Structure 1
């Protein structure tokens, strides 16, 4: 019973594990969109035709929860490599930022571009990108009844002591609707996406 006192995020208590749900969206790179490969000639997929390869890395985010809208700012690095080091060259790469609700519903999507500049004689280059997403605070707030059902103290011997609250479809759906992600990745053509998915 000594565990019943104060608890912090992830701490074991007498009634289970205490987890604090953040209002800030999760930030991620969707599968197969974190890399881009440019070919020359463009319609070739031979390894010898690979012109430029770039990938997104070092993704970091900050979240402002002070207003009616929760604003997430995402910063990341783009690193690239080219086959031919001759001459200075800038390669412009498109990337997207999307706010997704419940893992499937795209609420907003924006497309930006960033220049990756290779100096003469250099095969590698890097640059940085940024993106933002915002979600209404009301949308990430669970209804009171659902919150009570999730956080209700359950004691050993109770009929539903071992039942996960998320097993209730109503609770599960409410949590899903109140869950958001900000996704960033390269804006790929169908051919580029197919190449990433199958290589």
Structure 2
């Protein structure tokens, strides 16, 4: 599947939370005055890998059985904004990437539980769309009583990437998305998606 990065959307997470995420994970330049071999990325000299959401995997629809009608929807979910920071360890020529992303889920008419689990992935690709590594994570989401929507936040710390020579963080992309079955991917391609409001 060709790699394409979907536009990063801000979900309805409060601006305060997004701002705090950006401050906590935003790349900044800081050379350690104590001579450590670790340096913060996100600068021209030490660029972080590009992060984003893999096209067509930014949302998921869970259906009851083989049905595809609106009444068969158990839940929908979507990924919002992705933020990251990276740290270069010059002594062992590695980059450590920390990222976080938020999202929102919504119960459908076919839901029989208020506790669901969504599978998401974090994948690292190199230039020319070569897959380097991929890890799947579970995100449990509990819907409060009387509410049909719930928000989630996922952090993934310490993804280690090698670099060297003229290669730096720019040779990598770190992509997130829902881990879809073939049927779910086909559903995403065929059915127009209405963002959760």
Query: Which of the five TM-score ranges fits, normalised by the shorter chain?
Result: 0.5 to 0.7
Question: Which of residues 111, 117, 138 in structure 1 aligns to 2:136?
Answer: 111
CA RMSD of aligned residues (A): 2.6
Tell me the TM-score normalized by structure 1.
0.66
Cα offsets for 1:143-186 (capped at 9, x unmatched): 7xxxxxxxxxxxxxxxxxxxxxxxxxxxxxxx9x9611011111
Equivalent-residue separation in structure 1 for 2:66 and 2:163 (angstroms): 46
Task: Tell me which stretches of 4 or more aligned residues in structure 1 moved more than 3 Å.
Answer: 19-23, 84-88
Q: Return the offset for 1:86.
A: 8.6
Tell me the TM-score normalized by structure 2.
0.66
Question: Which of residues 70, 74, 88 in structure 2 aligns to 1:65?
Answer: 88
Is 1:25 the counterpart of 2:55? The answer is no
For residue 118 of structure 2, what is the aligned residue in structure 1?
Answer: 93
User: Which range is displaced more, 45-54 or 187-196?
Assistant: 45-54
Equivalent-residue separation in structure 2 for 1:28 and 1:89 (angstroms): 29
User: Which range is displaced more, 61-70 or 104-113?
Assistant: 61-70
Equivalent-residue separation in structure 2 for 1:43 and 1:130 (angstroms): 33
Indicate the structure (1 or 2) with the bigger Cα radius of gyration: 1
Equivalent-residue separation in structure 2 for 1:22 and 1:92 (angstroms): 37
Q: Is the 8 Å Cα contact of residues 29 and 183 (structure 1) preserved in structure 2?
A: yes
Q: Return the offset for 1:113.
A: 0.2
Normalized per residue, which structure has more helix? 1
Q: Is the 8 Å Cα contact of residues 99 and 134 (structure 1) preserved in structure 2?
A: no
Change (3 A) 1:108 1:69: same
Unaligned runs of 5+ in 1: 1-18, 144-174
Unaligned runs of 5+ in 2: 1-42, 192-197
Task: State the number of aligned residues.
Answer: 146
Q: Is the 8 Å Cα contact of residues 26 and 180 (structure 1) preserved in structure 2?
A: yes
SS for the counterpart of 1:181 is strand
Is 1:53 the counterpart of 2:76? The answer is yes
Is 1:136 the counterpart of 2:159? The answer is no
SS for the counterpart of 2:189 is helix
Cα offsets for 1:7-47 (capped at 9, x unmatched): xxxxxxxxxxxx9465321001110111010112x211112
